[in-house]
Each structure stands twice: as C-alpha cells, then as structure tokens.
Amino acid sequence: MKIDRRKNYYIVFDTETTNGLGDPIVYDLGFAVIDKKGNVYETCSLIIREVFYGMKDLMQSAYYANKIPRYKEQIANGERKVVSLFEARKTFSEVCEKYNVKVAIAHNARFDYRSTSKTQRYLTKSKYRFFLPYNIELWDTMRMANDTICKQKTYKKWCHKNGYLTKNNQVRKTAEILYRYISGQNDFVESHTGLEDVLIEKEIF
C-alpha cells in the first residue's frame, strides 16, 4: 500500500522469548505497520541469530521449543529472516522512520518492552540499553481491552459460559481469548509465533 502522509501509522509488535518470564531473551520478533482501521502496510518476521542459534541450551528450554523444527523449515523457505539483534533493531527503527510511526503497540506491552530491552542489554553488555526508538510511545492492547471489551456485559457472559475465567473468577484478557470473542472463532488457537500473533493483536487494537 502507498504511504499517505496525512495518516497516522502504528507498529504492532510481538516477541517470543526464552530464559523464563523474569529475564526474557527474544528469539523471534514480529511486527506490522497498520493504520487505525487495521489495514496492514508492511510486515516483518525476524529470528535473532545470537539467541536462536547461539543459545541452544536456552532454546531447548524455551516455552515453545517444540516449534523449533517448524521455525527452521520457515527460515529455509524464506518465510522468516535470520538477523543479528543489531540488524533487527536497525530494521525496526527504519520502518518506524519510514512511516513516521509515533506509537508502538503490543498485548501485555510491559513484557514485550522488557524482553527487547533485556535482550539488548544482555547481548551488548549494556553498551546499548533500549531496543525501541527513544521517541516512541507504547500502547498496551490488554489494558485497552480491559477498559472496553472486558467491561461489556456480553463479554462477561460469554467468558462465564465458556469457562474463560481466572482463578479469582475474573474474565480472561489474553490475546487468544479476546480474538476468539471478536472473531466468533471459539476454536481459535494462538500460534505463539511473533508475526502471526501480531496479526491477531492488531485486530484487538
């Protein structure tokens, strides 16, 4: 699609990580540039070389380690690109600059922000501390949904009917459950791969 300079563009991103939730290290970064209607202008799926190939022990303990063979197949056929973290950061920044993006969006954005920053600091020995461009605002679709969709009586009723409740009997707010609701696909299963998850998170946005 052609860039219309009168429009506001957003970048939706998602990370897949290893090394636990406390100190997450990114091996898969997906992102898409969209407008406020959800039209997609550009997508990117990047595998971080230093982690995916350089940290094999950690990758075997990754939450979705069973997906590694599929990743390798997709890398081989060109669906995903293997890059250094430096190249990933450069690509992300260049895309933001190309579309004059001022807002980055993620579901549970604190986690994705933390994972990119921790990976940046770990791999550069803190020479570079932040992954996202310094002037970009961060929006969280989980918090947005909490203030909108999750307050709807129809959503609460639907969650109770389907058993989509937390241990505290609160409605669940995961991207997978929210997407099931807004799409009407109650059998939808989240891919838990960067770009594929981005494309459902932009629908939640």
Q: Residue 6: its pLDDT value, please?
A: 82
Tell me the average pLDDT across 4-11: 89
137 touches 104 (CB < 8 A)? yes
Cβ partners under 8 Å of residue 71, min gap 6: 28, 47, 52, 80, 193
pLDDT of 83 > 80? The answer is: yes
pLDDT at res. 123: 94
In this predicted structure, the answer to whether residue 1 has a pLDDT above a threshold of 70 is no
pLDDT tens-digit readout, 108-165:
999 999 999 999 999 999 888 889 998 999 999 999 999 999 999 999 999 999 999 9
pTM: 0.93
Q: Which ranges in the chain belong to alpha helices (H)?
A: 49-52, 56-60, 68-76, 85-98, 109-123, 141-147, 153-162, 175-183, 194-204
The terminus-to-terminus CA distance of the chain in angstroms comes to 20
Block residue for tokens 């997609």: 40
- The C-alpha atoms of residue 115 and residue 101 are separated, in whole angstroms, by 21
**Percent of the residues in the chain that have a pLDDT greater than 90, as a whole number:** 83
